[in-house]
Structures are given as structure tokens and as C-alpha cells.
Structure 1
Amino acid sequence: MATTTIEAKVMEIFEHLHTHPETSWNEVETTEFIKNILIDSGCKVRTFDDCTGVVGEIGDGKPVVGIRADMDALWQEVNGKFQANHSCGHDSHMTMVLGVLLSIKEMESIPNGTIRFIFQPAEEKGNGALKIIEKNVVDDVDYLYGVHLRPIQEVENGMATPALFHGAAKHIDGEIIGEDTHGARPHLGVNAIEVGSELVQKLSHIHIDPMVPHSVKVTKFLAGGESSNIIPGNATFSIDMRAQTNEIIEKLATSVEEAVQSISDYYHVPINLSVESMMASAIVDPEAKDIMADSIKKVLGAENLVAPVTTSGSEDFHFYTLKKDHIKATVLGLGCDLKPGLHHPNMSFDHKMIIPGVKILTNTILSTLEHKGVKE
């Protein structure tokens, strides 16, 4: 298969994935589509009985080099209609990883070792990586690489960074449990909206180490119905917490729990909290980062290599290194004129950067296999 043919196939794959988005844990057709490509490419393939996702493997022995792509789309309103939408670039991530496979399969020979292609569900829920870990997919992985498109605010088009220092995140769902009362008799109950207002104020007074970026805020609050003369006693809400380190996110969580408990005590109303999802902060291996940097220079030129980027966003990729500390890992950040931003319903990017992304990742995998630092 000629290079131009591979590139055409890669863009054909992207077009299919882009136009067939599926939300977290519902990536059924996406799993089947990728599985068929893996099988056609001669991979040993593994799927799972209780969840979506698929893993392909070529080669054998050490080192074991993994490359991971997230699969899920977001559910959001796009031009007035709610739908699954690939506004975080996961369609391109899957495409690039499949492009690596297609590129490597066309080579006459590859270095000794195992290459594992991991297509992971539910990154947006924050628990897809944990499921893959639970399935023992990365137990023997020595190096693990990921990729994520970067917005124009972080990395310019045609440039790339060898590491993304994502922050930690934790998302909490809450429920205020009271009873409705008549609008003329507010003394007979507790207004859940007032409780929510107090919660917003309390959270704004949480102060942690100012040297570590962090934030906490209410991102959803639902209370009341159609009748304007009823004081709602019940409400549901969501809290988004962000911090640049795993230690600070836990301190934030503790402070939030204490704030909610104090409000519950003051108003004499139960408030239940549950963790909806969480993300770990980045643990970047210097060796893996350097291999990725060399690949960026080889493909894009040294002038287009960007220093590692610290970003307030989060990514469940980092659970792999948090839970399995033997893994050497990093994530490629690819500049591609992405605007207006990640998760924007009308996000767009320069599709021509998919092929350079494939080349960077392919070179990274091959360079890692040739690396002598991993002993069998």
C-alpha cells in the first residue's frame, strides 16, 4: 500500500468516525468498526463482555508499547438539537492510532517487541481508563502513549508538544431533600433555591494553596416546576472541581463536603452527595517525553516543537500511570487550528494535521521499540 493510499484510507476512517459519534459506554458500532480494521490488519483482538472498547496487538515479547485512543463523543446541543457530537476530537484520536497500525503493517520489518492498540470507552465520564485497567490490559505495558488535539490558545497549528500536564478533576452530584411549601407560607419549609444560593457562596470562600491552580463551582442547579406559587423543597445540583495536583483536588473535595454539611446542619435539610466522575492529574515520564519530542522534531522540524503544556483541562489517560506506576507514559499535544475551543458544539480543526499526527506517533512507537532501556 503506497503512502498516498494509506493517507486516503486514514481520512476515510476519520470521515466515518466523525459522522458516526456515540456517547460514553454506548460506543457499540464504533467498537465493531475498529475491531474489523484490527482483524483485517492481522491483529490479535480482544473485546469485552460487559463494556465497549477493543484492544489489538501485533508482535510479541518485550518491550510492550501501548498506544491509546479515547472513543466516546459528547452529548450536547448543536444548532438547537441535542445529539452525540465529536467536539473533543476523539474521532481524530482513533483515526491517528489506526493510522499508526496501517503504517506499521506496511513496513518490511519492525523492531522486536509488542505493540498494543488500546481503544478506550468513556473518557468523558472519567472512568473508561479505570475499566481498561480493571481488565488487566496494561499490566505488562512498559510504555504508553496517547494523543489529544490542542486548541489554538495552547498550541499553534502545525506545532506539537511532547507532554500535556493535565490537572485533576472531580465532579460531584448533589441532592437537596426537602418538601414543597405554599408561596404564601415560606415559614413551613426550606426553599431549596435559597439553600443552593448559600452553597454557591460557601464554595466561593474555599481557599487552598494559591501556588497551585484550582477552582470549585456549581455547574448545574435544578429546582422548582411549572407553578410559580410553590416553594421548591427539592433540588439537584452538580459541582465541578479542578486542581493541578492530585493532592489539592482531595483537599478541595474535603472542603466541599464540610461546606455542604454545614449548610445541611444550618437549614436542617438533608443534602446527599455522590461522586459522578473524577480524573487524575498528569504523571509524565521524562524518557517517554523525550522520545516523543524527538519524533516531533523529525516530523515537524525542531522549530515546531513546543515545550510541555500545563493545561487546566483533565484527561482520564493519567489513571494508567496513577494506578500502574511502572508505566512510562506521555500524551502528544497536536496543534491543529482547533477553535473556538474543545467541547464547543461547533468545534473545528485542520484535518490536514491528522497525517502528521500519525507520523509522529508511528515514529514514537518504533523509536521506543528500538530503545534499550527496557530489560526483558
Structure 2
Amino acid sequence: MSKLKTTLAHHFDHLHAHPEVSWEEHETTNYLVQELEALGLSPKRFKDMTGLYVDIGKGTPRVGIRTDIDALWQEVEGEFKANHSCGHDGHMTMGLGAAALLSEANLTGAVRILFQPAEEKGNGALALLDQGVIDPLQYLFGVHVRPLIELPEGVHSPALHHGAARMIRGTITGIEAHGARPEQGINAIEAAAALIDALKRIWIQPGRSGSIKMTHLQAGGTAANIIPGKATFSLDCRAQENDTMDLLIEGLERAIASVETFYKVSIDYHEGAKIVAAQVNKEAASLLQDAIIETVGESHCGPEIISPGGEDFHYFSFHKPELKTTMLGLGCGVTPGLHHPEMTFNTTYLEQGARILASAAKLAVERCEEGSP
């Protein structure tokens, strides 16, 4: 076993055993700072929040690598706890590995490695944008472990085309009444059922991918003879492109307006998490493809992946269209699937991921130097 693989195994074991949820990654941040300083680097914590970044090389960094550091809060074997079931422990491990490799490389420019909090909340990337730490970058590479249904073990993708996602919560307010006099009330459950039916009638063009559905509904108490006057609900909205998401939301607004009018209820709603779809840059994906081939060979370079899942990484290029971004899909045998409380993957591929990211960063630095005046 190589020295790097041994070191990465140690990092992973520690990070996996000490998960922390979004915006509370304090000890995780401390560990990352400690390990980067042990490499002789000078990491900088973000202002007024968890997470950090480190610059490697000389000059202003124009190439970046971003990893995420938070865990999910979920039930595991009957107990609710923080749990790394999305692979962020592996992402951090690869970030530390890339830092170690780049610190020993003869870079002609600088690379910035970002350890971002709160990806699971969907607003960590926006916080980094507000901090200004993305501003000098021309290229930015991300990474995410992938399930077996997408990539075989040891096969890696140069681009992940995540979809857009919005989580919406709302309240339907009618009028409560006695079950014997339903005409005196307005049944919130019936209005919710009408809204569910209306959502099914939101059409998008054939060839486009999108869905909107109710995933939570709660109304009434334990008494069967009371017409419930209030219901709360949640909606999960997904689309492969940002403009398709806009069409779904327009349809939702029409559906809500029609139910309000017909049932004489009020429906108040707001967006919780909001994720934009990927806008993969062809040049960045090409550099990452070259890095995969250079590291593990052409036979281990897979196709670009289209995924219905969401990732707040794509806010970077959404708000900075000039930024060239793509994400490495690491084929490491994720099973049973991402966000499953008992998710596992083959951690031996983390070394390959670290080497691919470091190689892509070096290639991008050289491309930046070639394009310098």
C-alpha cells in the first residue's frame, strides 16, 4: 500500500467517525486545518462560518478544487444522528490528498482548494460566493462519489450533469367544522387532494425531464368527526434543465391559484432548498477527461453522467457564467445508494480520485499560463 493511500485511509476513518451537520462542522474544520498545516500549508478559515480554503503555489490562484464537508441528519439503526451517507467524508479525503500531491508538485501557478460547508442545505456554495473566494478563479473542479447504477467501480466520469431541484413547503387554510355539517366548513384535505391532481396535469415538452409531486401532507387531529380547516404540505420539484424548472414553477403557481379559487381556501407557500441544474463547461470537462486518462487509463474513463440528483456546486457557474466548471464522478461502488443510512463505497478508489483532481488542477494551471498575455 502506498504512503498516500495509507494516509488517506487514516483521514477517511477519522472523518467518517466524526460527522457534523450543515453549519456545525466545527471539529471537521479544525481537523482539516490541522492536517493542511502538517503539510506546511497555510489554510484560511472562512469568515463567520465553518469551512476553509488553502492556496498552493505562487501568485493569484486561477484554478480551484471544491469539496463539501457536512453530513446528513438521519435515522440510523433506530437513532437520529449525523451521518456521512452522501460521501462527503470521501470528498474531504480526496481534497486532502490533492493538497498533499499539489504541495509536492512544481506548479507554474496557484491552486485554491475549498472545503465548503452546508452543501446538504443547498446554500453553502452561495455563502462561498458571498465570501469572494471564488472571484479570482477561471476553472473550478468538484467531485462526487457515484453509485454502481451509474458507474462501475474504477471507472470515472469527467462531468456530472445534475438537475435542478426545489423543495417547497406550504399551508392550506380552509374552515374547520363539525363532520355532520360539512357545508359550514372548507375541508383542507379536499383542497390538498385537488392540488395533487392539478400537479399531475402540469405538462412539459416531450424530451424534457421534470417532475413535481407532493411528498408530505398533514391535516386534522384524531377526531374523525371534525372537518379539518388546515393542512401543511411539502413538494419535491425536479428538472434536468433550469428553464424546465421555470415551467414547472409556473404550472405550480397556476395550480395553486385555481385550487384557491374553486375551494375558497388560501394557500401560502415558500421555497426551502433550491438547487440549479449543472452548466458543464466543455473545456473543463475535457481537461478532467485528460486527467482521468493520464491517471488510470482510457479504459477507465467513463461517459458524462446525467443525474436527477441536485448539487449546490452548480451555483458557482450559475452566478459566474465565465467560470469553467465540471465535477468528477468517482466510480467507487456506492451501495445501496446515496443518502441511504447504511451507504458504503470502496474507499480504495479515493487515492485515484485525489490523483485525478491534482492532475486536472495542474493541467488547468498550464492552460491558464498558456492563455496569459
Verify same fold: TM over 0.5: yes
Q: Report the counterpart of residue 12 of structure 2 in structure 1.
A: 14
- Is it true that 1:149 corresponds to 2:145 in the alignment? yes
From 238, 245, 250, the equivalent of 2:246 is: 250
SS at match of 2:202: coil
Q: Report the counterpart of residue 170 of structure 2 in structure 1.
A: 174
Which runs of structure 1 show a deviation greater than 4 angstroms over 4 or more consecutive aligned residues? Answer: none
Counterpart Cα distance in 2 of 1:239 and 1:121: 25
Q: Report the counterpart of residue 211 of structure 2 in structure 1.
A: 215
- Is it true that 1:269 corresponds to 2:269 in the alignment? no
Moved more, 239-248 or 183-192: 183-192
Native 8 Å contact 1:174 1:273 kept in 2: yes
Q: Report the counterpart of residue 26 of structure 1 in structure 2.
A: 24
- Mark the CA change 1:366 to 1:49 in structure 2 (over 3 Å): closer, same or farther: closer
Native 8 Å contact 1:42 1:58 kept in 2: no
SS at match of 2:110: strand
SS at match of 1:113: coil
Counterpart Cα distance in 2 of 1:132 and 1:264: 39
Moved more, 207-216 or 62-71: 62-71
Task: Give 1:8 deviation, angstroms.
Answer: 1.6
Q: Report the counterpart of residue 366 of structure 1 in structure 2.
A: 362
Taking only the aligned residue pairs, the percentage that are identical comes to 43
Counterpart Cα distance in 2 of 1:73 and 1:229: 43
Q: Report the counterpart of residue 313 of structure 2 in structure 1.
A: 317
CA RMSD of superposed structures (Å)? 1.7
The two structures have a TM-score, normalised by structure 2, of: 0.95
Q: Report the counterpart of residue 199 of structure 1 in structure 2.
A: 195
* Amino acid aligned to 1:114: A
Task: Give 1:227 deviation, angstroms.
Answer: 3.3
In structure 1, the gaps of 5 or more residues are none
Counterpart Cα distance in 2 of 1:83 and 1:295: 37
* Amino acid aligned to 2:63: V
In structure 2, the gaps of 5 or more residues are none
Q: Report the counterpart of residue 68 of structure 2 in structure 1.
A: 70
Task: Give 1:248 deviation, angstroms.
Answer: 0.9
Native 8 Å contact 1:94 1:119 kept in 2: yes
Q: Residues 104-144 of structure 1, C-alpha deviation per residue, up to 9 Å, x if partnerless?
A: 22x2x422212111111111121111111011110110110
From 44, 54, 57, the equivalent of 1:56 is: 54
Native 8 Å contact 2:281 2:324 kept in 1: yes
Native 8 Å contact 2:51 2:117 kept in 1: yes
After the TM superposition, which residues 78-97 of structure 1 pair with which residues of structure 2 at under 5 Å, given as runs? 78-97=76-95
SS at match of 1:44: coil
- Mark the CA change 1:235 to 1:32 in structure 2 (over 3 Å): closer, same or farther: farther
- Mark the CA change 1:266 to 1:227 in structure 2 (over 3 Å): closer, same or farther: same
Moved more, 241-250 or 55-64: 55-64
Task: Give 1:42 deviation, angstroms.
Answer: 3.2
SS at match of 1:144: strand
Moved more, 241-250 or 178-187: 178-187
